[in-house]
Structure 1
């Protein structure tokens, strides 16, 4: 996971929000066939491409087709309805049920009070707190001595299930690729692998 640097909201998104107070996200905005569905699609593409480099905002796996992701509300709409159309609460996330956004919303069992116990990739420099060991597992960074931050790392891993076996295996493969490119410079390794996702992992192992 890495920090997401948000841009200003799309003009079409802001226009819809301002002209439709109390709009229903599913019915009025994101549902195929509704009048403003094209604005939803434009919003999803903008967040994915311009803000997240075509990577899932939580798992960092690459998303090549916009239809393979959705706009996630970091703070769930049923818990924080006031953040439904808050641009800084919107993250493009993969559709996998076993980790990431859908795991957070459907399987993690988080409560409203839990949000203070895990990281927000829009707000926090999360890449400074996580470390990827050579097995592809994610853990608290070894320089992290604050027990509160260590607990926050563990809770974030738990909420998004970032230790899912498929993610661990994919990260391990990237690490093996980095080692196989030992004759290249760190910059060359980064350029060769950056389109395969897991940017924060590659940066950790190449110092780029």
Structure 2
């Protein structure tokens, strides 16, 4: 996820003189254009499709706790409104250290989290120190862990649609380890397409699991 140039409308607002309620519907539409350019039509946290889910402009550092971050472009993401997860939960869990939550435009979930075939997410094995703290804190603060049944089922369904494809590539890997048939290029293209899909990280981790076990 790469953050682009800030929407021009944000320059019209200043902390201390304006509130988020001063941002008009048209200006929020302009902000959404920039958010979609950065993250696609996916929740920045759980990667669900916010083209079909209710969604909102999310302040990574809550504007109620740090008002100076209200109009900071680097602090804005698009989040789903699924109950008890992502932005909906983050603003209700109480005080926590913001830097201990993975920031979607900076941190790579592959470095911290393992997405499992059954739709669960766990901290990556072998993490220690601050990396382990950040992985566990992110799962808790955003409600991404396995106890959230709705998100877990959504991820599991997304992954299930690609299991047969992953199995086919795993078979090719076993039969043609030297890539004489060029299957690795096909796999790379498949993964590029998946990159833009909802729950892409979960799907990619499933592919890796099938290929690593061969």
Same fold (TM over 0.5): yes
DSSP 3-state at the match of 1:139: strand
After TM superposition, give the deviation of residue 64 of structure 1 in Å. Answer: 1.5
Query: 1: CA distance between counterparts of 2:50 and 2:102?
Result: 22
- Tell me the SS of whatever aligns to 2:105: coil
Size of the alignment, in residue pairs? 189
In structure 2, the CA distance between the partners of 1:121 and 1:194, relative to structure 1 (3 Å rule), is closer
> Are positions 1:5 and 2:2 aligned together?
yes
Aligned: 1:156 with 2:138? yes
1:54 Cα deviation after fit: 0.8
User: Is 1:23 aligned to 2:24, yes or no?
Assistant: no
What is the CA RMSD across the aligned residues, in angstroms? 2.3
CA contact (8 A) 1:44 1:70 kept: no
Give, in whole Å, the separation in 1 of the partners of 2:64 and 2:16: 17
The 4+ residue runs of structure 1 with deviation greater than 6 A are: none
Task: Pick the aligned partner of 2:152 from 133, 153, 168.
Answer: 168
Give the 3-state SS of the residue equivalent to 1:183 in structure 2. helix
Correspondence list, 1:1-208, <5 A: 4-14=1-11, 16-17=12-13, 22-26=17-21, 28-29=22-23, 36-47=24-35, 49-64=36-51, 68-106=54-92, 108-109=93-94, 111=95, 113-142=96-125, 144-163=126-145, 164-181=148-165, 182-183=167-168, 185-187=186-188, 189-190=190-191, 196-206=197-207
Q: Which has the larger radius of gyration?
A: 2
1:6 is displaced (CA, Å) by 1.0
For residues 47-68 of structure 1, what are the alpha-carbon distances to aligned partners after superposition, in whole Å with 9 as ceiling and x for unaligned?
Answer: 0x20001100111001215x82
Query: Relative to 1, partners in 2 of residues 1:195 and 1:125: Cα closer, same or farther, differing over 3 Å?
Result: closer
**Is the partner of 1:156 in helix, strand or coil?**
helix
C-alpha deviation, 1:198, in angstroms:
0.8
- Contact 1:194 / 1:202 at 8 angstroms: preserved in 2? no
Q: 1:116 to 1:12 in 2, by over 3 A?
A: closer
Q: Which segments of 5 or more consecutive residues in structure 2 lack a partner in the other structure?
A: 170-185, 209-214
How many Å apart are 1:136 and its aligned residue?
1.4
Q: Is the Cα–Cα contact under 8 Å of residues 189 and 206 in structure 1 kept in the other structure?
A: no
Q: Flag structure 1 segments of 5+ consecutive residues without an equivalent.
A: 30-35
Q: What displacement does 1:122 show?
A: 2.7
Residue matched to 1:33: none
Post-superposition Cα deviations, 1:170-208, rounded to whole Å, max 9, x if no partner, equal 22223322212233653464466556401122232335x
Answer yes or no: is the 8 Å Cα contact 1:132–1:201 preserved in 2. Answer: yes
Helix, strand or coil for the counterpart of 2:119? coil
